[in-house]
Structure 1
Amino acid sequence: MQGIVTGRNSLGFMWATLKSLLPSRADYSALPRTWKSDLLAGLTVGIVALPLALAFGVSSGVGAEAGLITAVVAGFIAAVFGGSNVQVSGPTGAMVVVLAPIVATHGVASVVIVGLMAGVIVLLLGLFRLGRSVSFIPWPVIEGFTLGIAVIIFVQQIPASVGSPEFVESTNAVLSGISAIVAANVDLALWSLGAVLIVALIMVVTPKFIPVVPGSIIGIIVITLVAELTGSPLVRIGELPSSLGLPSLPDFAGVNLGELVVPAFAVAALAAIESLLSARVAASMANTGVFNPDRELLGQGLASVGSALFGGMPATGAIARTAVNVRSGGKTRVASIVHAAVLLGVVYLATGPVSRIPLAALAGVLMVTAVRMVPSKAAWKILRSTKHDATIFIATAVITVALDLIEAVVVGIVVTVLFSIRALIMRGKVHQVELPGPAASGDERIALFRIEGALYFGVADKIHEEVTTHPDVTVVIIQLSGVQFLDATGAQILAEIVMQLERDGKTAIIKGIPEQHRELITRAGVLGELRHPNHLFDNLELAVAHARSHITREDAATAEGLPRPFFS
């Protein structure tokens, strides 16, 4: 009977957990009061997202069509199933940085399969409630990661800015190939460079005069009209679908899934990290309801799966678009849903004009976006904080640009942990102090050691070194009240110290075990190594008095010609 009850309780807990990760009516409880601002915010974000969706699709190598599909499908699914009321999802610059090498190595068709695999991984992370893990990523790592992404995005747009529609994977290849691209068609290069500069100028200037309309949209419209009216040689986006097809599984024929496992985990890691960071930033910008990180992972996983089934690319929460949503008055998920509906309207109503947008205009949009991504204020604060944080920030940014995005995050976290351990070790101190109160005869044979900060392996050598420099010491008092950090290793070392002192014929007395460490010290057998339970004290004066009583009895035994007594 007890087993049945336990089973029912387990099922009940599992159902409660799953229920907390699914949509509910509470998600839209504020809608009667916020629907107007949600509609306006959704329309604004949709306009902002259009050029970015097209540009990120092109820049990743999968095409503008995939970027647009991703913004529609993933944007809708993540809005409904995600853990944030205001998160806007879709293709992002960080995802472009990861996907572009995958396209170059495994082909465009692999992106759909990688997206499907990554989506399942992220979904499982949400079901296993690992959403809080983003809190383990240090601030310098996040900002270094962002700076590296910004640099890569900017550099990747250089070929398009001088007239090449092809993606160039390597940064070195981008820089070394510019002269060849320009020489091949000087006229196209000049037109493209001019388009980029005009778009950038419009994006910088228009917010001061026309803040309601995104500068990226104005810039793209201007360049497209100029290109059409002048018959310029600018390379266009090309044909786009005029409808959203039916979902279907990708073709796995001839695909080596083993080669895509690592890329899929890299995409999943990025999708999880960026989405959780974006949602956390949104939660700090305005009071938009509770943010559920586990549900966010579930929603983002479903979004990438859905996007893959429609032929799109993996999606993440988009920090810039989410910020626009919040600042535009978005309060509920309806705003993000409207954003997806606006982009869906583009698919059915405006793919003709959109297909005529020059690639150079999109390159200009991404270049300005990359510059705006640079965390200049945060970088300045980090560089002025500590050498450790500055090193972590710079190392993460450099590794992101030179090697790999996920490797940069991993290395940044590892370096942070190493610096933290080093700082912890440096805080661990042991020093001999004078006995309190008036001096008494025999005090020179009593050593009082105070351990402060962290109790770790290095402290053991220090204590032994201090004690062995005083061969006449016969009683050692170890004061632990200043120990702030103690783990199993530290407790075991403390037991070994006590055991070694007793083995050397010295009496060990422990004073002041902090209450939070008492259970661990007991389990580690430290108290069992003491000669007698009376050698554990909470008061320093009593511990010293007991140590002096040892000296008095030792002197008395010596005077009578007796061996050193064994007493408590």
Structure 2
Amino acid sequence: MERFAGYNISALRRDLISGTIVGIIAIPLGMAFAIASGVDPEYGIYSTIVAGVMISLFGGSKFQIGGPTGAFIPILFGIVMHYGYDNLLLAGFMAGIILILLGVFRLGVLIAFIPRPVVTGFTAGIAVIIFSGQIANFLGLSGIEASDKFGVNMKEIALHLGTVNGPSVITAAVCLLIIVLLPRVLPQVPASLAGLIVSSTVAALFFQGKVATIGSAFGAIPSTLPQFHFPVITWDRIEMLLYPAFLIAVLGGIESLLSAVVADEMSGSKHHANRELIGQGIANMAAPLFGGIPATGAIARTATNIKSGAASPLSGVIHGIVVFLVLILLAPYASEIPLSSIAPLLMLVAWNMSERREFLRIAKTRTSDSFLLLITFLLTVWVNLMTAVEVGLILAVILFVKRMSDGLTVVNGRLDGTEGDIGAEAQDRECPHPCQITIEGPLFFGSSNRFEKAMSRGMPHESVAVVLQLDKMPYMDMTGEYKLAAYIQPILNAGGVVFVRGIQPQPLAMMKKTGLYRLIGENRFLEKSG
């Protein structure tokens, strides 16, 4: 409990203030993310309460605020479309188990190895999907058939542009103006909540019955938490939902750890990656038991928590309690919020999460990284997120191997003079000018063919004395060792001698494991020459 070390009344006061502020901000976001994910708005609130408290209590980041996030929208919407809400709950529960296993086996560090262009690409793609998915609500279009395919949604919008609803556009515009302008005038006031309240009031006074609301689209929001319900688990359902659950877990892990890193930078604290994954897992196992959708660390809410003076994880618990109290007391009023008021809120979320500056910065480099970025982005938008991440990672590995293989150079020559043991043995074999081969760069499966071709050009096997200069070869795998041994063996079979000079620890350890060290001879491994 080092996160509560030195806790006092002053810290409690700070947590109460920050938790209340973040709780108020989280209410409209929770409903908006749920609606955009294809489920009733109260399920986003349930997740905000349950998962938000669990993430703060059991996570590895001192100031992390958890709940539904925009990053999940395309995934959850697709699951709801194909499998239904009940199966979404089970997929979220399974994702929680996967996250706990990742944390228990200390695999949190693996998520950090996902290349930045891949993360930026799918984040920007998700932002496009969220933004475009709210155009219909912003314009008040009717007759739209929702789909989890970007192209289909764009076609639907184009076909129904003639159904634009003027009152919906005005309501959305009022909300958008408040969200954009209010932070410049009154930064201490939650702009998203103010935008919803004012635009909802405008719609109620001037456009009664002319604008679709949460209540008209989804029914009244109940003012209580649902009863505890454990999902029905069968092997067939597990097999069917394993892929979606894995995707939820991976994206949730990435998002939560990114948020934890942001919190570290802002607060000077240090998060525990594996404990954070375990906390996220517990939260995502608990939320579905109360009807909540999957949750993760929310970067914007976490940043607000820190800026508001949070002192400990208790602020996250208070944020969940505040949301619960609002649900109990004000649920009937939330049902009157227009869908066109929620649209600009989600559009702004998409704009803020798009990482447009980082996207353009990488794209302008015109390197393999910019290619990786664009492929991941396009696949996210036009196919789906999982395909984008899979292809992005595979391409990243291929490009990495290509870069590493290009970094291998092999230079051969003759020693003009000889010294020490090299000179003595070379003279004994009537070879006054031994062949020297200098290998620079990693010798592994990706560079083995390059090495083999280099060795076949001007590398005479008739040399009875060969010096391998390896001080600039940092790594060698089994394939590289096999290719090197294939060159050395004929020389030794012909009665020649091979010296290895300046070898680094990893290649030396590999040679000892495979027996090549003994074959060459311990006394022929020499220190790097001056």
TM-score by length of 2: 0.90
What amino acid does structure 2 have at the position aligned with 1:175? M
Match of 1:305 among 274, 278, 285: 285
Q: Could you tell me which residue of structure 2 aligns to residue 6 of structure 1?
A: none
Work out whether residues 492 and 526 of structure 1, in 8 Å CA contact, stay in contact via their aligned partners in 2: no
Give the equivalent residue in structure 1 for 2:66: 89
348-357 or 399-408, larger mean C-alpha shift: 399-408
Deviation at 1:203, TM superposition (A): 1.4
Which of the numbers 13, 34, 46 marks the counterpart of 1:69?
Answer: 46
Choose the corresponding residue for 2:437, options 434, 446, 449.
449
Counterpart residue number, 2:243: 262
> SS of 2:214's equivalent?
coil
Shift of 1:166: 6.1
Specify the alignment match of 1:176 in structure 2. Answer: 155
Q: Which stretch of structure 1 is more off in the superposition, 51-60 or 518-527?
A: 518-527
Return closer, same or farther for 1:503/1:377 CA change in 2, 3 Å cut-off. same
**Higher deviation after alignment, 130-139 or 201-210:** 130-139
Match in the other structure for 1:466 = 457
2:139 to 155, 159, 162: 162
**Is it true that 1:60 corresponds to 2:41 in the alignment?**
no
C-alpha deviation, 1:49, in angstroms: 1.1
Residue aligning to 2:20 = 43
Match of 2:391 in 1: 411
Partners of 2:468 and 2:245 in 1: how far apart? 53
Partner of 1:101: 78
1:435-469 deviation digits (Å, cap 9, x = unpaired): 2559999878632111111123235424532345x
Residue matched to 1:420: 400
Q: 1:352 corresponds to which letter in structure 2? A: P
Change beyond 3 A, Cα 1:217–1:255:
farther
Alpha-carbon distance in 1 for matches of 2:171, 2:498: 80
The structural deviation recorded for 1:386 is 6.2
Q: CA 1:510–1:28 in structure 2 vs 1: closer, same or farther (change >3 Å)?
A: closer
Check conservation: 2:475, 2:506, Cα contact below 8 A.
Answer: no
Look up the match of 1:538: 527
Residue identity in the other structure for 2:359: A
1:368: Cα distance to partner? 1.2
- Tell me by how many angstroms 1:301 deviates: 1.3
Q: 1:505 to 1:386 in 2, by over 3 A?
A: farther
> Which runs of 5 or more residues in structure 2 are unaligned?
none
Question: How far apart are the structure 1 equivalents of 2:367 and 2:157?
Answer: 37
Look up the match of 1:358: 338
**Are residues 331 and 391 of structure 1, via their aligned partners in 2, closer, same or farther at CA, if it must alter by over 3 Å?**
farther
- What secondary structure sits across from 2:221 in the alignment? coil
Over the residues paired in the alignment, what is the CA RMSD in angstroms? Answer: 2.6
Distance 1:539 1:406, change over 3 A: closer
1:478 equivalent to 2:468? Answer yes
Aligned mates of 1:134, 1:90 — CA distance in 2: 20
1:252, CA displacement in angstroms? 5.9
Deviations 1:317-358 (A, max 9, x none): 111111111222223111111111111111111011111000
Q: Secondary structure at the match of 1:451?
A: strand
CA distance, structure 2, for counterparts of residue 258 and residue 454 of structure 1 = 41
Distance 1:60 1:367 in 2: 14
C-alpha separation in 2, matches of 1:241 and 1:154: 28
Which deviates further from its counterpart, 40-49 or 343-352?
Answer: 40-49
SS at match of 2:205: helix
Aligned to 1:522: 512
Deviation at 1:30, TM superposition (A): 4.1
Cα distance in 1 between the residues matched to 2:221 and 2:230: 21
Which amino acid in 1 is paired with 2:510?
Answer: L
Query: 2:256 aligned to 263, 271, 275, which one?
Result: 275
Q: Contact 1:429–1:454 (CA<8 Å) still a contact in 2?
A: no
Q: Which amino acid aligns with 1:51?
A: P
The code of the aligned residue for 2:226 comes to G
Choose from 92, 115, 136 the match for 1:138: 115
2:213 aligned counterpart, secondary structure: coil
Cα distance change of structure 1 residues 81 and 386 upon mapping to structure 2, 3 Å threshold: same
Q: Secondary structure at the match of 1:86?
A: coil
Distance 1:331 1:137, change over 3 A: farther
2:376 to 396, 409, 423: 396
Q: TM-score, normalised by structure 1?
A: 0.84
- For 2:62, the aligned partner's letter is N
CA deviation vs aligned residue, 1:511-536 (integer Å, no higher than 9, x gap): 22224432222222223333x65544
- For the residues of structure 2 that align with 1:120 and 1:196, how far apart are their CA atoms? 40
Q: Aligned equivalents of 2:461 and 2:235: distance in 1?
A: 77
Greater mean deviation of Cα atoms: 247-256 or 357-366: 247-256
Change (3 A) 1:255 1:198: farther
Query: In the aligned structure 1, how far is the partner of 2:48 from the partner of 2:528?
Result: 67
Percent of aligned positions with the same letter in both sequences? 34
Residues 1:224 and 2:200 aligned together: yes
The alignment partner of 1:249 has SS state of coil
Amino acid at match of 2:363: L
